[in-house]
Amino acid sequence: MIKVIKEDITNLDVDIVVNAANKSLLGGGGVDGAIHRKAGRELLEECRTLGGCETGKAKMTNGYNMPCKKIIHTVGPIYSNKESDPVNLYNCYFNSMRLAWDYLNDNHLDKVSIAFPCISTGIYGYPKKEAAKIAIKAVKDSNYDNIDVYFVCFGDEDYQIYLDLLQ
C-alpha cells in the first residue's frame, strides 16, 4: 500500500519514520530538527555511535520518545543539478525500504509501516515534483508488498504533487 498524507511526521504512530538527515547524523533543522526534538537526547546519543552516513545511504536507530518504533536516517543530495542527484535521492528511498524489509524479517512481522518526508526538497533544495517522481519510483521498484508506505507532506504543494502522481 502507498498513501500520501499531510501531517507532522513526528506525530505518526507508524513502525518506522524516515529522517532527512545530514552526513553527521547529529541533528539539524527541518524535519531532522523536529524528529530530534521529539525523540529526545537519547536519539542523539545513539546517532553519535553511528559514525555518520554517506549521501544516499541509510542507518536505523530506535525511536525513543517518538511514537514510532524505529527511525531510519538517510542523507539526501544537496541539489546542484548534477547527474548523481537523482541517483542519490533514489537510493535514499530504496535503501530505507531495504532496511524496513530487514526489520520486518528480523522481527518476523507480517507487515511494517514506514513514513517518508519529502527528502531533500527543503533545505537541500531539490525540485519538489522531480523529487516526488524519484521517491515514488524507488518505492515501487523496491516492490515489498508487506510494507505500507506513507509519503508525508508538510505543505499543500508537496501534497498536491504526490496526489497527482499517485492517482
What residue ranges bind ligand APR (CB under 6 A)? 8-10, 20-22, 28-34, 76, 117-124, 152, 154-155, 158
Q: How far is the CB of 109 from ligand APR (least distance, A)?
A: 24
Q: How far is the CB of 136 from ligand APR (least distance, A)?
A: 15
Strands (E) located in 111-157: 112-116, 147-153
Q: How far is the CB of 38 from ligand APR (least distance, A)?
A: 8
Cβ–Cβ < 8 Å for 68, 14 = yes
Task: State the Cα–Cα distance between residues 4 and 32, nearest whole angstrom.
Answer: 20
Q: How far is the CB of 102 from ligand APR (least distance, A)?
A: 23
User: In sequence order, what are the residues at sequence separation of 6 or more whose Cβ sits closer than 8 angstroms to the Cβ of residue 12?
Assistant: 67, 68, 115, 150, 152
- CB of 89 or CB of 147, closer to ligand APR: 89
Q: How far is the CB of 145 from ligand APR (least distance, A)?
A: 25
> What strands, in cross-sheet order, belong to the sheet with 58-62?
2-6, 147-153, 112-116, 16-21, 70-75, 58-62
- CB of 104 or CB of 114, closer to ligand APR: 114
- CB of 112 or CB of 115, closer to ligand APR: 115
The Cα-based distances of 103 to 16, 23, 42, 132 in angstroms read: 9, 23, 21, 25
Q: 10 Å Cβ neighbour count for 164?
A: 11
- CB of 34 or CB of 104, closer to ligand APR: 34
- CB of 29 or CB of 67, closer to ligand APR: 29
Beta bridge partners of 72: 18, 60
